[in-house]
């Protein structure tokens, strides 16, 4: 009897050890069958802290951010006039990710060709102290507490028009129809308030990048729905602008190795709760 119990216990320990190794150490290859035989690869190591970083992190009343997860390429727009396109700034202290600025500039230039020429930025990145002050002044009906606002990531901004209310202007209508083509999403649409928990904000856009903005546009998803979709599917392939993208979702509790071909570009973003999305393209 004692020997049987010992054998059973030993088997259980071995199974647990195998599962632990599989989750934390065994490399995962993204759709290996699609790569050519003998193609060179690199091994990426994804860490649990990566769950809280990247362009796809979900920030809302339930999922907050850490101060060190803010984009590290913030710049003051007023002090870098040579880097911005033809749009107004509501004040001299607006900051934004330099990467996001590049895409916003391209979007504004495209909108001008369609007659939408009167954009202005009213708000960009907000620090913890600034968000805390805003929440105290505006209250929970009009602001989110410090640590729970997308503005603290450096990739969200409030865009207005000098011609009037955003939803009624050419600028607002153009953003609603075309922002996805430049990697942006309208974060709080009118018909998704039950999901986002935020009232309609036609001025608030957030950068997620392609191909994610394209998929969200085609499926009419807000970020909450899109992340749930990726978590359920685990792997998605899509063709955008002639580029083939492979998007994989991994639950992360321990460091994990992911193998990708060396001549493919890749991006890594957490979802801000328990997973990481790896997007590769050629």
DSSP, collapsed to helix, strand or coil, labels residue 97 as strand
For 8, counting Cβ atoms within 10 Å of its Cβ (0-12 exposed, 13-18 middle, 19+ buried), the class is: exposed
Q: Rounded distance, CA 205 to CA 227, Å?
A: 17
Say which of 163, 167, 201, 267 is annotated catalytic.
201
In what helix (H) or strand (E) does residue 201 lie, and over which residues does it extend?
strand 201-207
**Length in residues, the chain:** 282
| Nearest-10 crossing angle of helices 223-233, 212-219 | 100
In what helix (H) or strand (E) does residue 268 lie, and over which residues does it extend?
strand 265-270
| 201: annotated active-site residue | yes
- The rounded radius of gyration (Å) of the Cα atoms in the chain is 22
Which two tokens mark 132? 């805390």
Which two tokens mark 253? 């509790």
Q: Rounded distance, CA 267 to CA 192, Å?
A: 28
Q: Rounded distance, CA 212 to CA 226, Å?
A: 8
Enumerate the active-site residues: 201
């Amino acid at each position: 009897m004692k020997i049987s119990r010992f054998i059973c216990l030993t088997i259980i320990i071995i199974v647990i050890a195998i599962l632990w190794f599989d989750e934390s150490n065994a490399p995962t290859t993204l759709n290996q069958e699609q790569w050519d035989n003998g193609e060179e690869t690199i091994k990426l190591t994804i860490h649990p802290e990566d769950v809280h970083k990247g362009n796809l992190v979900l920030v809302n009343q339930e999922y907050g951010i850490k101060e060190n997860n803010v984009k590290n390429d913030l710049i003051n727009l007023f002090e870098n006039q040579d880097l911005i396109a033809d749009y107004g700034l509501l004040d001299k202290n607006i900051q934004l990710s330099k990467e996001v600025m590049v895409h916003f500039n391209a979007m504004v230039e495209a909108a001008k060709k369609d007659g939408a020429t009167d954009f202005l930025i009213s708000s960009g990145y907000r620090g913890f102290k600034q968000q805390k002050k805003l929440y105290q002044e505006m209250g929970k009906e009009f602001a989110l507490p410090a640590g729970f606002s997308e503005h603290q990531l450096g990739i969200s901004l409030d865009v207005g028009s000098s011609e009037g209310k955003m939803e009624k202007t050419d600028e607002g209508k153009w953003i609603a129809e075309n922002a996805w083509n430049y990697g942006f999403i309208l974060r709080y649409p009118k018909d998704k308030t039950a999901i986002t928990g935020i009232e309609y904000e036609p001025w608030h856009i957030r950068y997620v990048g392609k191909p994610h903005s394209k998929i969200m546009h085609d499926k009419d998803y807000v970020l909450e729905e899109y992340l749930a979709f990726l978590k359920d599917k685990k792997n998605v392939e899509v063709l955008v602008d002639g580029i083939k993208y492979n998007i994989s979702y991994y639950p992360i509790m321990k460091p994990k190795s992911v193998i990708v071909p060396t001549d493919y570009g890749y991006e890594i973003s957490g979802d801000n709760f328990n997973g990481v999305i790896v997007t590769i393209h050629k």
